[in-house]
Structure 1
Amino acid sequence: MSAPTPLRVLVVDDSAADRLMAARTLRRAFQGVVILEVATAEEWERALDEGGFDLALLDYNLPWADGLELLRRIHLRLPGIPVIMLTGTTREETVLEAVPEGLEEYLPKTLDAYEQLPRTVRFALERGRQRRALLESRETLRLVIEGVKGHAIFFVDAERRISSWNAGAQAVTGYSEPEALGQPFRLLLAPEEEEHPRGELAEAAQKGHFTGERWCQRKDGSRFWADMTMSALHHEEGGLRGYALVVRDATERRRTEEFRERLLGVVGHDLRGPLQAILLQARVLHRTQQPEAVSRGATRITVAAERMERLIRDLLDLTRSRLGGGIPVQCQHFDLFALVREVSEEVELVHHGGGRVRVRMDGDGYGAWDPGRLTQVVQNLMGNALKYGTPGGPVEVWLRGTPDGVFLTVHNDGPPIPGDLLPHLFDPFRRGEGHRDRGLSQGLGLGLYIVHEIVRAHGGHIEVSSTEEEGTRFEVRLPRHAPPCASLAAAEGSP
């Protein structure tokens, strides 16, 4: 462990006796202290050029300058060095003029004052250390703020005028720092938004922060959609000091959201409407007395239209999940066991000759879920089990009700899911390559992804295992009440 660096003190005084008194006092109080004595203007200039001292002890009255001038030169050349001033004949009011210039302390040249000198030095060194640490932290914060290019980070005073400005603010708004400082905050807002910030700043002052979105305006007059966060800053005594603001250009995100809404509208309404008309007419043709060729054509139209409807539904679910924060669920109380029984009968009819679905139920199947969404889950898992399992083989479905939730297990024998596909089975647009030769891989590869998202939207979990010996097993775990249904469950109670 290296020895501590000795304290180095610069003593500037034209009186040899006073320098000797200060040096003796410091040497008794600080072991190994190095005293740098200065008595002339030439020695002062040399000491100032060389630096290397931790504290300066200055006489106020010197033949070539006064202590205030020396104090200013030290802080100009060596900022942060603590300075203590000694005075023999100067009035106290005169020395106090140096305090705003950064003077740490002053002492009269008396025996009692020299006895206090070590204590004064210790306090001055500690305050200097704290001041340097504060300056370093401020500089670090300034560098961090300046380094954030994608966000405008700035401060607004209590009168709502801009008081600081980072490089990111210039990049986002086009205003340079000289152009922005001192300007009212409304400079950045689109004309129709100028009245809103008053309430938002007031809310930030009351609650501590505010987050919202507004139309803002750049220097060139162009508009951008801003994601804005305001945080109130207060003095130690509690008074409002101003606000810290972080503004991000969210125009592209807003455009994406608008595009998403238009896409959902087009796909969900404009495409589904004509498709429903095609389905309706094809079913009418199929049910009426028509030549065999017409009937076959109607059947093909119906099958193709139903497949298109499933694709549209999957695309809508994918879009909502990826861009809308998850697949929405609308819950109500029902018996999941009864729903699974009905779905199993429908699936067997669709996959006629593809195997039998055997359903086993234990416990209670009541809960609050979205019946339409869980129908999608059950249809997909059973349908996949019939398609990809052993041809003609059974599909085992086991439902177990526990006090906390319901477990749904779907099992089939047959070729296992390839090992490289298994970890990505719930990713969108992933399909089983090995089943294409059997004509089973149809659609976009979104089925299991949507199943996963529906289960997740209900607060549940889904797992899959697949081996040659054990077959393929999907297990869904659902809580009795999905998170969005908690208030519904409490209000209505379980059947």
Structure 2
Amino acid sequence: MLRILLIDDNPNDRLIAVRQLKREFADLKVEQVAIADELAQALERGQFDLVITDYQLRWSNGLEVLRAIKTRYPDCPVIMFTNSGTQEVAVEAMKSGLDDYVVKSPQHYVRLTAAVRSALERAVARQKAVNLEVRFQTLLNRLNVGIYRATIDGSLLECNPAFLRLLGLGTLPEGPASRLIELYFQPEDYAQLIEQLRENGEVRDREMQLRRADGSLIWVRVSKTFTKIDGITIIDGLIEDISDRKQVELEREQLLSREQVARMEAEAEKQNYSLLSEASRLLVSSLDYRTTLAKLANLVVPTLADCCFIDIVETNLTVFEEPVVAAATPDIEALVLLLRRHYFASAEADFGVRKVLRTLEPELVTDVPNAFLPLIRQDAELRRLMRQIEVQSYIIVPLVARDRKLGAITWLTTQPNHSYSMIDLAMAQALAQRAATAIDNAQLYQQSLDANRIKDEFLAVLSHEIRTPLNPILGWAKLLRSKKLDEKKTAFALETIERNAQLQTKLIEDLLDISRILRGKLNLNVCPVDLATIIRAAMETVRLSAEAKSIQIHSELDSVVCQVFGDAGRLQQVVWNLLSNAIKFTPEGGQVEIYLEQDDSQAQILVKDTGKGISPDFLPYVFDTFRQADSATTRKFGGLGLGLAIVRYLVEMHGGTVLAESSGEGQGATFIINLPMILSELQVSSKESEATTANASVFAGLQILVVDDDPDSLELVTFILEQYGATVRALSSATETLAAIAQLKPDFLVSDIGMPEMDGYMLLRQIRSLSPEQGGRIPAIALTAYASEGDEQQALSVGFQAHIAKPIDPAQLVATITNIVQKSRGKGEG
């Protein structure tokens, strides 16, 4: 649910803003503030996701409100929606953290919903960036492995808490940090480390002793690499405490004289401990998680299992990557993969990988032949597989990191009379925990690489696209200066210069548009716009480029489709971008189609082509900024990959949606735009007119009391009910209402709740204490800005038949009254 705090002391402006917002956001709750006390209470509760405030308020101004909100909720988006501000006010507000500034006028109402959506998206993006940074820092802080960065002379630059704990330090010592790290190593060991670093550029898994701050010695495993940062050589180091393992090894050496059974048990325990230690080393040694998991699976086999497979899944848990598999023999691997595909990872099975991922509970089966016996009897294929592989016991453990389900690890043993135990399960869970962390780290790292790659590719393409038109411009300009060209060549040169200058102008305009979009500074000049005219103008603009490739543009523009509120220039830019894109990716002799149709209350524009199409992998990213399906130097089609991103943003600013469809490469593409029509308002009016006619018999002669201390709200409700044929008596206090009920004996009551001296609850309690002859059973509706579920329950409990929250929907008010009156008359007739 989207929760918006609306601060405006003009009830009509609040009504308009809420109705505009409800058209865009279905699951919406608006808390309205009209006075200073209500704002103070709202700020105390803090139950809102975004704030919309007027500038000129009776008790304050929008700048003071903005500062009050940002002081308590610095991350909450704030939009100023006003007709009384100035450019200076807007600038000052932006400096104070305002997210957007929307002029309060009919042609800008559509901008309000776009501003809200943009502000929320920016807030989400900021929060994601903060969360990602926090997760990285949390991961670094929680690792038991010491991580540090130092200069070549041993001066510590940064480290995680685990590194300080290894040294026995609570905080870094004061004073010079030079040669700090060297002080904690044995002199010979540290000299060898540095020498090996200079020779090879890295040190892997060197085991040595570290002297801690209290003088005690611990065993550590050290890995170091050289890194160049701004020309300076930096050492990145990992240090892992292996003292427990060394102690275990030492103790086991002392038990060699014990009986054979004791030696075997000790050896098994040693293997498990060593395996965990080795697994930890493997999992932090590489960010290629599939290679790392393959090594982990081969570590499990054959020590702990005859076969191990690791499933990695996407977040929807339906798409499995190809599993990582290790098996004692190729035959076992082939059979286990069949068993996995049909049973352990089957979507229909009530056991196995999918169940473990669904419940996050590990699965341990100690006696597979007996456990599977009912299924084996029913399934001949399973019977055949089980005879060939003879699985005795298995364990499946989920891979979970940061509450994300990443996959599962499965162990199987085919050894006769061998069953996995709870000790084995604990071992599997320990490995799974380490593996999940490694996968999560690798995926986070890959995401950062992808983001950097996209940025680098875009900059490379930008350089190419800007330089390409410069070449003919500068070349032909120099030839023109030589004055050696004849008239025909001079005309050709000028045409070439003009065409390439226009290309470069378009690139710059796209970049400026993206810059405005990213800064939230792109504004619309809104007025009624005829889409058919817009489309024809865009078609004329691209006509020459289509004719140059012998591409036919077929159009069907429905004349019934009425106007939309929008910026004519920006809407033409949207259609032009889509048509240009279609022509660009359609081969010579192809066809581009554009349609304008009506879909319910939406105007729908479809642009289809017979061109290159979009691959399924790229389709979800087609509207992303700086994304291109092909950014290689060998790419066939130019451009910056900004056009479709601009299309999406402009369409959404107009309150519409855009989506892309394609059956794949070579299958063409279709882009579909939906925009709200002005006709939808007329349709609403038409429906209200129909409702007026249908309900005329109910309201004819109906005498209604309306009580509200706010004169604007009182006038609005009175006007609505009189339009439907009711006789309305408008009152401004509860006291007047009690007197009117006694005198007029009205048929219906519509009452506000928040009124001075006597509120709506107190009023209805007094009415319900009257006899039926005195009006004690008059049907009543609570019409109020107190709109929570608790307010509704309280209204019903005191005797109101219904509760309607402000701002009112006239159709809802009329329908509610009609329903209550019809029920009341039905009871009377019965």
TM-score under structure 2 length normalisation? 0.25
Which structure would you say has the larger RCO, counting Cα contacts within 8 Å and 6 or more residues apart?
1
The TM-score, its normalising length taken from structure 1, stands at 0.38
